[in-house]
């Protein structure tokens, strides 16, 4: 092998900085986040709650997102896919001072799958068997994914359900109301 005659290169800040996530796993647990009313109203998940300000800031437009449901009354698995579409914004203060970090709203566009892909089927893939896809819960979310995991998820067929015209109109009205009010509530 090649040996540097000056010894090892000094470690830099760039060497210690973890790589940016290649994508995100978002987990929906019906007891904490019921996505059904949002999908019924606007045909997609357009906002996702994030408790941790640091993770909210790490979500960057264009990063792929995969929504995993853990509600045991339905198929536990992948229910929607899409991407981050804008910066996360703080949710309006509800007036309670419980000492918790402010909650954030990640701006996403996640379209539901025509048929969910069961978690058991996902983890049959060698890369996904040892990934957060196999173990993540709502408490972990959003979970950063590395490039290998994103590529493995993308090997599955995604048959997306596009929003109906009335759902698109409802989403436009919600987003317009948010803009007028100065951000998500």
Question: Please, what sign has the CA dihedral across residues 20, 25, 31, 37?
Answer: positive
What global pTM score does this model have?
A: 0.82
**Helix or strand holding residue 171 (H, E):** helix 165-181
> pLDDT value at position 41?
95
> Could you check whether the bond before residue 142 is cis, i.e. omega within 30 degrees of 0?
yes
Burial class of residue 90 in the structure, from the number of CB atoms within 10 Å of its CB (0-12 exposed, 13-18 middle, 19+ buried): middle
Burial class of residue 162 in the structure, from the number of CB atoms within 10 Å of its CB (0-12 exposed, 13-18 middle, 19+ buried): exposed
- What is the rounded CA–CA span in Å between residue 24 and residue 143? 5
Coil vs helix vs strand at 54: helix
Name the pairing type of β-strands 64-69 and 143-145.
Answer: unpaired
pLDDT tens, residue order, the chain (185 aa): 444 455 555 555 555 556 789 999 999 887 777 889 999 999 999 999 888 888 889 999 999 999 999 887 788 999 999 999 998 888 776 555 555 555 888 999 999 999 999 999 999 999 999 999 999 988 888 999 999 999 999 999 999 999 999 999 999 999 888 788 766 65
| C-alpha separations of 10 from 1, 6, 7, 15, 16 in Å | 19, 10, 9, 9, 11
Greatest CA separation for the chain: 68
């Amino acid at each position: 092998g090649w040996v540097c005659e000056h010894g090892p290169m000094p470690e830099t800040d760039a060497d210690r900085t973890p790589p940016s996530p290649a994508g995100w796993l978002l987990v929906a647990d019906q007891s904490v986040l019921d996505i059904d009313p949002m999908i019924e109203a606007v045909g997609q998940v357009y906002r996702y709650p994030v408790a941790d300000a640091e993770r909210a800031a790490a979500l960057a437009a264009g990063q792929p997102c995969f929504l995993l449901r853990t509600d045991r009354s339905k198929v536990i698995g992948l229910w929607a896919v899409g991407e981050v579409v804008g910066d996360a914004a703080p949710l309006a203060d509800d007036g309670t001072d419980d000492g918790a970090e402010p909650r954030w709203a990640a701006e996403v566009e996640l379209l539901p799958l025509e048929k969910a892909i069961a978690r058991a089927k996902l983890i049959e893939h060698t890369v996904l068997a040892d990934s957060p896809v196999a173990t993540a819960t709502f408490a972990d979310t959003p979970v950063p994914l590395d490039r290998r995991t994103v590529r493995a998820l993308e090997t599955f067929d995604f048959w997306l359900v596009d929003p109906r015209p009335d759902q698109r109109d409802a989403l436009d009205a919600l987003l317009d109301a948010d803009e007028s009010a100065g951000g998500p509530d």
